[in-house]
Structure 1
Amino acid sequence: MGVGLSSGTGRPGRHLPRRDDPIGSLTGGLCERLRLRSGRGGTIRGGSGRTDALAFAATIEQAAAGLSRRGLCLGDVVGVLAPVSPDRFLASYTVMAVGGRALTVLPESDPETQCSALAETDARLLFVSEDMAERGLELAERSRVRQIITFGSALGTTPFAELLLPSPDGNGYSPARGLFDNGLLGYENTGDGMFTTLYTHHDLLARFAELREELALTPDDVVGVDRRGDEATRHALVALALWTGACVVAGDDCPPPEGRSVTVECSPEPTRISRPDRPR
């Protein structure tokens, strides 16, 4: 079974960088920006709770350092098996922050397709949500995956928290150093084999810039993302919301904050459905 590889959006990298643009990856520089905007950092919410955007961005940087210590190299493919949730975005942004390529392994795909996607892209590492750990172990037996990192705990897997441990030798790692070999990988099982699509950093940043112009997000917006829309657009939209200081609600079972409503949806193209109903 062969792999067909296409470029992502086909958008040229014509957007001039701004001081508040991502550097190297969609979250490169986000942590520093949020530290300078204390009190206006926004949140990301899932079915299990909420996380302040600053804590979320800092976790990405810590986890990226942990992946770097484990030998992840530029261009390496890492699978991400999780429903649309903060965990899915955390894993993908972390992989891209180290210069890797995050392969979204769709939970709704059948096991044969999931296994083929991992095997054909030569993924050796797999992030899984706690509820998908058993499936992840099954896929590892049938592919080249050698390590599974779980958001939670499951026998035979590595807890995500281990990536956040301090470096034994004190060496740091900066994920904002111009890692342009990163990106997102999507896949489609066609009659001729597994066809993968790479959305490069330039593709994602171009989409980020377009959404910024189209949506004019403010810190008072609530951005809702679920299974509707394509993965690259979802990641660009969530990153934009985090950079803006807006609130993100991720997943079908995640309600907006009390007293507020979703103002922007990814359905399937990001659309403004209302203006913020009250300031924070």
Structure 2
Amino acid sequence: MSIKLVAIDIDGTLVNNNREITPEVFDAVQKAKAAGVKIVIATGRPLLGVTPILASLNLLDEGDYLITYNGALVQATASGEAFIDEPLTYDDYLDIEMESRRIGTPLHSITRSAVYTHNRDISKYSVNEAYITGLPLKYRSAEEMKKHEIIKMMYIDEPEKLDETIKKLPQRFLDNYTIVKSTPFYLEILNKNASKGLAVKHLADKLGIAYEETMAIGDEENDRSMLEAVANPVVMANGNPELKKIAKYITKSNEKSGVAHAINEWVLN
């Protein structure tokens, strides 16, 4: 059975180490789209933060979709309309914020339109997140966050300190939320029903695409759920060795246009 949906991570996967889309990757994506394959970017970023990438790949047409916020939103790229929306509640916010204070780890919160911090001493990691996503960074008190729809929250700290934070999280906390370490200094906390894997499943169901017709390509632990959710998991040569254990295919590295190799070998052949 042919592949009809390919979900693709960005950093370490779609782009090379200079965050560029190589001509080989561009050509492979265009051929797949012309053949009727749904190419779906799956990212922790918001739509605004990946629009330049979508535009460069011609993925802003009617019928193109995007998984954002690590699966909390699935959106039509042309309109931004979300048909899967799994935000956090304000009670979740208070719970996550209280745990942040108990452990002593900074955090910020992200909506569709901004990055919010209640820290008067603003972390460099909050500044970095605003830069990467293209969202404004704003200060708001915990009380003021009640009126905002929070898509995800992030514990942020130096890598070794964040590792200690993870060890201190109670089991109750791990059970109540989807928790993803997206970089060495970001621990993302989402609605329990939000993950790249669940988003891929829901999107395939919406489009009438069978499990056997799904593929995902990734490189790191935050891609695990979507790799486990598809029939054809592909891990980059530069990917996490633990992920390679669940791969059906190992493709070339991101520096050698591994996404193009995967599409040409296992989608278009």
What TM-score does the superposition give when structure 2 sets the normalisation length? 0.29
Q: Quick check: which one's helix share is greater?
A: 2
| Higher RCO, 1 vs 2 (CA within 8 Å, ≥6 residues apart) | 1
TM-score, length basis structure 1: 0.28
